[in-house]
Amino acid sequence: MIERTLFSPEHTLFRDTVRRFIDREIAPWHAQWEEDGIVPRELWHKAGAAGLLCCCVPEEYGGAGADYLYDVVVFEEMARAGYTGPGFMIHTDLVATYLRSFGTEEQKRHWLPKMVAGTAIGSLGMTEPHAGSDLKNIRTRAVRDGDDYVINGQKVFISNGQLCDVLVLATKTDSSAGAKGITLFLVEGDRPGFKRGRNLEKLGMKAQDTSELFFDNVRVPATNMLGREGEGFGLMMTKLAQERLAQAIRSAAVTEAVIEWTVEYTAQREAFDQTIADFQNTQFKLAELRTESVAGRVLTDRCIELFMKGELDAIDAAMAKMFLSNLHCRTVDECLQLFGGWGYMWEYPIARAYADARVVKIAGGSIEIMKLLIGRDMFKHHKKVPAPKLRAAR
């Protein structure tokens, strides 16, 4: 196995802390949270106290001022354990990042310390029933009224929607301007007119609340704007590489974990007077998956290095996201087959991993969008060559 060289001894110590937290505070209750469709707010408080949230937030805003690898450790260990309940990734990697990058000093001082402590939960409100990856065509409106904006519209598939205290909301402030008419706002969860719809029942990731949200004349002050009016689409585009990298990080960790579970299971389970691992088919399947998982890990770690240098571009992130998402889904499918009938039982982690996996080809930009971006980039420097004129036959 190729040794990873990203992490220092301090990161390794922190990884041990995260694993102990998961074993103590998440593992005993996660099955119940899957039935409930939500985790308790108390877990967020405990995670904040343990230093697992928003590790990169500077000390002046209540954070540890750590490097991005500390957040990576949290994402990897949650994924490796197979627990998708707490929406830590959305909270840390997106909402806190938007605030750090684009928020005013007042916004940062108000929200970031609370997010670090887990006393305020963040969510991202972009997707709408008719506009998934096509963000420029959202319909949620924000209309200026004196010193306020009045917001009307709806969102769907919003992670942390039932629990969120602050929402980074994408709106249209100019319906005729396309992408240039999008503006971001911070919307508090207790604003009059802000209504949480049902907690959606999903195929997988059952312990993470995912909501419909409705905005009925929600009035927010202009000071809640994130960035400037009309800049929202551009701000979102600057964070897509980071979002897709986080998806690749999670998929890489799950892929490795699922292979480990399968090796352990097939080495013990017997059929026809030998273990499942003794069959050549088992060895060949797992050899292929292990090789591809190492390739995926090398790609992901390289993208992490580039991101930390400020050099990760959207296309590299899209390739990592596409490759690891496809590998993630194929690995859980082929490994579940090696578990036989027990792999179909919810009590086995491989069954939950199978259900949880399918969304990775959709979330953070669908696989088809990734292919479109990569394909367009390949041909962007090639001008269209006119077809040769054919001379008429005599």
Query: Which token pair is 6?
Result: 């990203």
> Across the strands, what pairs with 226?
184
- Those residues whose C-beta lies under 8 Å from the C-beta of residue 240, and which sit 6 or more positions away, are 314, 317, 365
Residue 387 DSSP class:
P
Strands (E) across the chain are located at: 122-125, 141-145, 148-159, 166-172, 182-188, 194-199, 210-221, 225-226, 270-271, 274-275
Residue 276 DSSP class:
G
Query: Which token pair is 95?
Result: 């909402």
Measure Cα distances from 146 to 181, 184, 221, 369 in Å.
Answer: 19, 18, 9, 39
Task: Name which of 262, 327, 264 is nearest 292 in CA terms.
Answer: 327
CA distance 152 to 58: 34
Cβ atoms of 133 and 184 closer than 8 Å: no
The single residue of 77, 243, 256, 292 carrying the catalytic annotation is 243
H or E stretch covering 253: helix 232-268
CB environment 66-97: b (16+ within 10 A), e (fewer): bebbbbbbbbbbbbbbbbbbbbbbbbbbbbbb
Query: Which token pair is 149?
Result: 């904006």
- Asked about 243 being catalytic, the answer comes back as yes
User: Hey, which residues are catalytic here?
Assistant: 243
